Structure formats: C-alpha cells, structure tokens
A and B are shown apart, each in its own frame.
Chain A
C-alpha cells in the first residue's frame, strides 16, 4: 500500500516536470505559431521548452542578490513538486488526507511568494515593480480560486480533494458547482501567468519583472516551476469539476486526466493569441467581478445544500 502510494507519488512528480513543459510546447507550436501567427514555429516542435530549459541550465549563473536570491528559485521548485503530490490525477491524490486542499493551497501560494522573494532580493526597479504587481495579483487571484473551492467544500462537506472527485462524479454538477467553475476558469490565464494577465512579467513594460535579474539555472528553475504550476492548477481544475470518466481502471483515468489537462493548456494558448495584455487596474477590476461570481456560487450552494 505504502509502496503503491510512493510509486504514484513519484509518477505524479515526474508527470508534473515533464507534462507541463510538453503541453506548453504543444500549445506554443501548434496553437500560437501555426494557427494564430501563421508561422512554422519551433523546429523541435513540442519539445522546444525542454531545449530552452536545458540551455538555461547550462548557462553561467550571474548573481546580483544575496543568498535569498539564490535559494528562492529552489524553494519555488520545491513548492511545485510538493504540490504535485497532492493533486488528483488517476483518482484521489496519493497522499490525500482530510484537509489536504488547505495544504495544497498553501504550497500554490508559496510558489508566488518565492517569486516575489527572489525578485525583492534582486532589488532593481524592474524586479521591485514586478514583485509589487505579483503581490497584487497573488492577493486576489488565489482568493478567487479559493472562493470557488469553498463552494465545492460546502457541496461536498469535506476538505479532502479525493471526496470532491467522488462527489462530483456521483452527484454530477449542480447549479452552484457550474457557477463556481466560471471564476476559476476565467482566472486561469492569470494562474498560468499568460496574456492578458501576465502583468507582473510584462517584458515590454518591466523587462520580465520579477525574473528580470534571474539568469541561467535560476531562471530555468523558475520557468520549470511555472510550467509545473500550470500543470498542477489545470489538473486540480479538470479533476474536481470534470472528473469523468471516473473508471475503476487507474491508468485509463490518468490518460483521461492528461487529455483534459492538455485541453486546458490549448485553451490558454488560444486566449493568449486573441488578447492584448491588460493594465493592472483593469485586471484587478476583472478579478473583482470574478470574486463576486464566486461569492454568488457560495450563496447558491448554501441555498441548495
């Protein structure tokens, strides 16, 4: 039993590290380059993010901050890998326990906090500006996501992610669940750090914001951690709100989950291709609207429960 858990856990970590960049590569090559831009795109196809990471890992590491700047990317990656143990892929999360969602939320927040810390330790005006924007986003984007999941908690009367999946698969989506999935889906580009909500990085305004002073392996770790975060968030979303087909056959569930996650990545690629970057005040207004929808879902959940 413990052996299976560790095996599945290890597999989830590997999937998070590999599938994240790979799905991003697919979206980048086939959605962004081929369809939206009308160009050939990277010749390595969907593997380009791996080449990018390999190249960055092999580069000289220039450091301008202190030890904090050096350790923040590592902690960021650590938070992503830990979070990947708590997501449901083939079924309930391998290390699921009562309240595992709270821990997952903590680690997801940790990722942004580590980006902010690394930026603050670099201490130039671009990184500080980017860190400021990241904090503004962090305060409300994670809140919007949490509010959506509160509706799920009320419906399922549980804090365990495994219970949520079983409940959704068994009792199907009710009106409050459908309402709750709207904000979390619409805030997804922000969680992915993509246009129209990539204001913290915004290379045309802040030269990469929090990552402006990161180079070589540090930058690679951050980039990889962000791919991983995208995978974790997408997995959590599709499995909680669309757990079907939930069969007894574990590998089949896993494959279905990966397909669903890929669809989310492609969707994010489409949004990225169709929108300009919004200003921070515009995106904050947008998040606030989503927050209201999420709050409505909570009310609805109470009324129907």
Chain B
C-alpha cells in the first residue's frame, strides 16, 4: 500500500470526515479529520487495516492562527514503511474528544497523558486516572499549555496520595517499589498476591519528571535541544538525539550528508552493543546469577572506552546537530575500532554460548513472563519484547533512518513470547550489531572524508516531522512542530519503555512472586526515559530531615 492508496481508501470510506490529506515528506501521511470521526477512523486504521498505534500528541495551538488544541494520533504501517497521523482540532478551555482506547488498547496511557499535560479530555476512557503528573500537582493546571511557564513551581502538598487500585478479596499487597533493589529507578508496582501467586497489579510511576519536553519547546533553540535529548536516557542518549535531529531534518525535507549518517549508524550500533551487554548483566543479577553480571559488564567496559575514543565522552557524546554530526571519524580510527569490536565479539560469543546452553537458566526463564502474540499486538509493545512474541517490527528495517537503508540490519524474531525468547533476541542482536559496526567502518572507508553537516541558519515555522529510532529496548519516537523565532513549537518524545510497561500486568498474571522482578527486567525498563516530562516539584525549599524516631511507630519504642 502506498501513501496515495492509503489516502484514497480512507477518503473513499469516510468522505467528508477527512478534511485534508498531505504527505510533506515521504513516508508520513498527515490526515486532518473531524473530531467526531476520530473513533471510527482510528478503529478502521488500527483494526481493519492493521496499523500499529504509536503515540498521541496534544498541542496547544491557541496562540497560533488556527487556534484550539491539536490532537494527533500516530499510527504506523510497518510493512508499508508508512506513518499515518490522524489529526483533529478541538476548541474551548475544557476540550473533549472521543477516546480511542476502547478500540485501540495501546492508546491507554497516551490518552491519560493527553489530559494530564494539555487538558484535552478523552470521552469514555476506561481508566481516566492521573498518569504522569505528581500526585500533588494542582488539578486544572496543564503544564504543556502555552500559558503555563516552564519554571512554574506549584505549592507542594505532602498529604497527596496516588489513586491506586485495592487488592481483590483475599489477596495481599506486595509492594515492588517505589525503591526496590533491582529497579534502578523509582517505579511502584503494587502487586497483589495470594501466597506466592500473583493475582493482579497496579502501577504508579513517572516519579522522574524533569520537564524536558516543556524546556525543549519553550527555552531552547534547535541545536541546543540535542544536548537535552541526549540526557533523556543514561543508556540510549544518542538514540534520542538522533531521533530528534532526524525528525527536524524530516520536517525540513533534507537529509544529513551520507558520511554523517554512517557515523550516526556506527554510534547507534555501539550503543546497542553496550546496552544489550548491560541488560544481560542486570538480568543475571535479578535472578541471582552474579557471575553473568560481572562477566558481561567486564566485556562492556571496552565499549565505553571506544565511545570515549571516538567522541571524547563515555555516554553523552554531544555529536548530533540538526543537519549532521559535529565530529568525523578519521581514517586512523578505523583500525582501533575494528580491533575493539573483534575482542568484544570473541568474548561475547563465549558468554552467549555459555548462557544459551545453561539448563538452570532455561529452568528460570523458559515459560516465565509470557506475553502472547495477540497481547503484544494489542498493547503495541516494541523492541525485543515485541520480537520475542513474534511481532516482526524493527524500525531500522521498517522505517530506515541514519544509514540503515544501505547498512541493513537483520530482524531477530522469536515466537515463544517468554523471557527466554526476549533474551535470545537480544543475544542475537548483540552479535548482529557487531557486524553492523564493521559494515559501517567499511562504508566510511569507502567514501572520501568530506562534509559531515549541512549548517542551517534558520528553520521556517509550522513544519511537522517525526522519526522513529530503534533503541535497544524498542523504538523511540520524536515528533516536532517547528515554531517562530527559530524555536520548536512542540516537541514530543515517546520512549520504548512507555508501551512495554503497559504489558507488565499481562506478563505477571498468575506468575510466581519470584518471576515478577525478572519479568519487569525482561523488557529492559528505563523509567527516566519514559518519564521525561513535567516540572520537578521537589525543590520547594522545605527540607525535612527524617530521624529514626519518625520511622518507628510509637508503640514499638
């Protein structure tokens, strides 16, 4: 199906409800639709035509000539290398739009977030609780509206509590989080257990809001944002900065020079190698197999040195700018890079073999944390979590960015849907990434050193662009709307953990308590990426020192 066919089919089916259809850059169709048609069209696109839901974006456009709020539901036709963005406009101070969640289960959190940040209510949403804002954030204050300043600090209210589900009859609560040994970041899984068996789960997260999107589209210029984007995640920072700059480049309809795109590809794959080794270690740690942790992190360390050698930094490289990269990889660096990957490859193969044949690991990981293919599709999970459940999606192949059109990645797909399948997907990708690094170096060697960036002086307002980048945990999505004064009007980020987290209740249903941490760990959660948004309300100045007496109930002391 081409973009033209998609537009024709939808126009034929819904006629007048589709007010406009355009394709500013190849691969992304923007459809302006009437508000009352959102439900039926989303239903048709998702359930009849088989598109996968990605994310929803709300934009406050009241200061712009069009006015009102724009709601964009982003879908992807992976086989057709096509994005479909359904956009509608609603007006008023308390705007409402029909929820698509009853038809598109994957939109659950996206629509909750839509209300939290821009105040567009989703009618008939099955679970309209607060998702993203702090519990003491004042109701009716929507931080991504343009009349809310980025440095607002509402009064803290220490008595505020999250609205959490109560356990079913006969079950008790096993709190996993907000701080828990194997979750590196705060997240609260309220797990309901009967003895050793899990009967349900509720989630409260988003403790790590940092106001990143707000800062990006209010205070920073185009080439400052990549620095911020890189700090969204401590593991896959380069993925976010690449995703952002490629989204802006797509809005402009301009690609970075080929050499810059190959440099991006190389760094992206190095990031995947280190991330998968890191995950393997953490997974080993979660099930008490410390030897795996120590060995895989030992292998990972030279990858960090390699990053430092290439970019000058271990993690936040500062390489990306809109239009290209800052630094070239010189010819003298090719051999050290190849030597380093060769060593990593030998050692990784040894670890992969040891892990793949370990019967005690099979006992722990096979058949645990199962996510069926149907559930994976409905919840719209991404990355190794999806590929482990037989959903063959990989943004590197489906929506090529950087230089993945010439340096082709392999999709690693397993169908069992258990933790073991996700492990195998990652181990195979680890070895494939090493191949891709080699190919990138070969491609760099084949072309002469030359331009690595198209410097852009100014970017016109009103352009839209989006890009997906396959992070080690799944695809990251960045959507940009350019604004006046050479600044962003709206910057939307969706990290891969966002949809994957929504699959946790399904994964751990009827599981043993022992399988809960590794099930959560199996999709490689990254909470601070997911929770990139909102203003921190911690710095209220009221420092409360907790002494032991405060922790001890009076009757005990």
Contact = CB atoms under 8 A, between A and B. Distances in A.
Interface of A: 32, 36-39, 60, 62-66, 125-126, 129, 132, 195-196, 198-199, 202-207, 273-282
Contact of A65 (B173, B287, B363, B556): B556
Interface stretch (B129-137, B508-516, B535-543): B508-516
Nearest to B514: A279
Interface in B509-557: 512-517, 548, 551-553, 556-557
Contacts of B172: 125
B288 A63 contact: no
A111 B551 CA distance: 29
Given A63-B556, A64-B552, A204-B285, A276 B294 contact: no
Contact of A204 (B182, B196, B363, B548): B182
B556 A277 contact: no
B309 interface: no
Given A38-B295, A205-B513, A66 B556 contact: yes
Given A276-B289, A282-B363, A205 B284 contact: no
24 contacts: A37-B290, A39-B298, A63-B552, A63-B556, A64-B551, A64-B556, A65-B556, A125-B173, A129-B513, A195-B288, A202-B288, A204-B285, A204-B286, A204-B287, A204-B517, A273-B291, A275-B288, A275-B289, A276-B361, A277-B514, A279-B514, A280-B196, A280-B512, A281-B512
A12 to B, nearest CB: 33
Contacts of B174: 125-126, 129
A38 to B, nearest CB: 6
A198 to B, nearest CB: 7
Interface string B275-288: 00000000011111
Interface in B287-323: 287-291, 294-295, 298
B363 A278 contact: yes
Nearest to B551: A62
Contacts of A65: 556
Interface in B152-188: 172-175, 180-182
B335 interface: no
Contact of A125 (B175, B285, B291, B556): B175
B364 to A, nearest CB: 5
A207 B180 contact: yes
B360 interface: yes
Nearest to A133: B196
A62 B512 contact: no
A202 B557 CA distance: 29
B499 to A, nearest CB: 25
B460 interface: no
B287 A37 contact: no
B195 interface: yes
A60 B548 CA distance: 9
B552 A279 contact: no
B181 A203 contact: yes
A36 B288 contact: no
A299 to B, nearest CB: 29
Contacts of A203: 181
A186 to B, nearest CB: 14
Contacts of A38: 294-295, 298
A75 to B, nearest CB: 19
Given A60-B548, A203-B181, 18 more contacts: A38-B295, A62-B548, A62-B551, A63-B556, A125-B172, A125-B174, A195-B288, A196-B360, A198-B288, A204-B517, A207-B180, A274-B291, A275-B289, A277-B514, A278-B360, A278-B363, A279-B514, A280-B512
B514 A199 contact: yes
B83 to A, nearest CB: 39
A39 B297 CA distance: 11
Nearest to A62: B548
Contacts of A36: 290-291, 294
Contacts of B284: 276
Contacts of B175: 125
Contacts of A129: 174, 513
Contact of B364 (A32, A126, A276): A276
A205 B284 CA distance: 13
A132 B195 contact: yes
Given A36-B294, A195-B288, A207-B180, A279 B512 contact: yes
A207 B181 contact: yes
A172 to B, nearest CB: 34
B181 A280 contact: no
A273 B290 contact: yes
Given A63-B552, A65-B556, A277-B288, A205 B514 contact: yes
B362 to A, nearest CB: 10
A174 to B, nearest CB: 32
A280 to B, nearest CB: 6
Nearest to B521: A204
B548 A279 contact: no
A60 B515 CA distance: 34
B556 A196 contact: no
A37 B295 CA distance: 6
Contacts of A37: 290-291, 294-295
A301 to B, nearest CB: 32
A138 to B, nearest CB: 16
Contacts of B294: 36-39
Interface string B357-398: 000110110000000000000000000000000000000000
Contacts of B286: 204
A64 B555 CA distance: 9
What are the 7 closest A-B residue pairs judged by CB atoms, nearest first? A277-B288, A37-B294, A276-B289, A276-B287, A279-B514, A204-B182, A195-B288
Interface string B37-66: 000000000000000000000000000000
B556 to A, nearest CB: 6
Nearest to A203: B181
A286 B216 CA distance: 56
Contacts of B548: 60, 62
Contacts of A207: 180-181
